[in-house]
Structure 1
């Protein structure tokens, strides 16, 4: 069974190599690429406020990279944030923070819902100040929930996400191969990625009906389930709670019926 690795190109290789070593047929087809937001007066003002926050939520390794680059550009030393507690969406983000000597809280489920369950957030007083290092459109559910709970948010939009130009070319090149698959398996890690796949396959609706989607978290599972019901599609879905290579391989094995 063919597996479509839809992770951004700079993050796809470790997963693809791991799965190929386990005899999984893999096609790299990135559905998102990240483009840094240009430096602006607004970002400079936000960095100046950063020492006043209690928690910084970091949503991806790229957010770590762009966030730290912005910190350096602002002229602020990391030592000015010694009092801050860091939240990382998952292990990869936590490792990126660790490279700067920063320990972080990591949820069991690597989603906004998982981060909202962390004790560190429940222990904050009302009107505590929380910064988000994120991409355009990301983590909106978590931010809305915290704002409703009376928290003050400092919103750093550090990058935007777009569908890579090569995605349509990769699909066109492999269209016959995909159509020949009785069933294929595909990773979906965000609603933006799912919407990009929907657009790419708009003229090939049959592709959806023999797909099994591995989706990250309950909210995204619900998005695909609603889509399936609205369009009366025949694809199937499994939920992932994290993006560990071993977890993905386990789910692929379950789909193949080899577990």
Structure 2
């Protein structure tokens, strides 16, 4: 059984270890690399506006790390913004916030839709301003939904997201030995950016795209893959998952294998 681990290098190890202990061959093929952007005057002005902000949405452990570093650089302290409610996209992000003594709301489904469904959005009175600590290109849907509700959005772009340069060579090495593995190959897709990078990477190897069964995080991404399947008439097998916990991914694969 082959699993293609597309998670960023700094987040891939727990999943890789979990699956290898269960008898999987695992190929690490990270589709996103997160690189902090330099602190600048635009970020300085955004940080100062946190004094009148009700919610901060933090979309990844990297966003916590960079966001807190730049908060200190801005001259603000957590004490000055203790009025703010924090939302973490998932448990790993919430844990990184707790390292700074910050409690956060965590959705059942680790997606933009999951965060928007938190009771906080309906119970917090006079919600007028919300901040997003995020990477370039991420959480566009959620920010648009907030703007549609006439909430002022502070857009903290803290890092860039790109396919790591070494992934192309890793993929070529994988292609050279892919015949050693029997389909289906399993993989997890956690964002639209990851999916787009995968399509670029595999442009000349559609047989690999079709041989994979994709575990897709959340309904919107699942529908995106279904749209691409219908638009291209490609063989894309996908299953929706609600979080990225290694045990969730393993149990989903085991259940699907029983049906094959």
Q: Normalising by structure 1, what TM-score?
A: 0.97
Distance 1:258 1:61 in 2: 35
User: Are the aligned partners of 1:178 and 1:184 in contact in 2 as well (CA < 8 Å)?
Assistant: no
Deviations 1:83-131 (A, max 9, x none): 1110000000000000001110000000000000001112234551111
Deviations 1:24-63 (A, max 9, x none): 2211100000011111110011111112111100000000
Distance 1:177 1:256 in 2: 23
Q: Normalising by structure 2, what TM-score?
A: 0.96
The structural deviation recorded for 1:12 is: 0.5
Instruction: Tell me the residue number matched to 1:159.
Output: 159
Instruction: Tell me the residue number matched to 2:213.
Output: 212
- Pair 1:22–1:256, CA change in 2 (3 A): same
The SS at the match of 1:31 is coil
User: Are the aligned partners of 2:54 and 2:127 in contact in 1 as well (CA < 8 Å)?
Assistant: no
Instruction: Tell me the residue number matched to 1:186.
Output: 187
Distance 1:57 1:160 in 2: 17
* Higher mean C-alpha displacement, 173-182 vs 230-239: 173-182
Distance 2:160 2:241 in 1: 24
Instruction: Tell me the residue number matched to 2:147.
Output: 147
The structural deviation recorded for 1:77 is: 1.1
Instruction: Tell me the residue number matched to 1:239.
Output: 240
Distance 2:162 2:257 in 1: 31
Deviations 1:226-253 (A, max 9, x none): 1111111112100110111110001121
- Pair 1:79–1:126, CA change in 2 (3 A): closer
Instruction: Tell me the residue number matched to 1:90.
Output: 90
Distance 1:195 1:24 in 2: 25
Could you say what the CA RMSD is over the residues aligned between the two structures, in angstroms?
A: 1.4
The structural deviation recorded for 1:21 is: 1.3
Unmatched tracts of structure 1, length 5 or more: none
The SS at the match of 2:39 is coil
User: Are the aligned partners of 2:225 and 2:236 in contact in 1 as well (CA < 8 Å)?
Assistant: no
User: Are the aligned partners of 1:61 and 1:96 in contact in 2 as well (CA < 8 Å)?
Assistant: yes
Instruction: Tell me the residue number matched to 2:16.
Output: 16
The SS at the match of 1:212 is strand
The structural deviation recorded for 1:22 is: 1.7
User: Are the aligned partners of 2:216 and 2:240 in contact in 1 as well (CA < 8 Å)?
Assistant: yes
* Higher mean C-alpha displacement, 126-135 vs 219-228: 126-135
Deviations 1:129-172 (A, max 9, x none): 11110111111101101110111111100011000011111110
Distance 2:143 2:235 in 1: 33
- What is the total number of aligned residue pairs between the two structures? 259
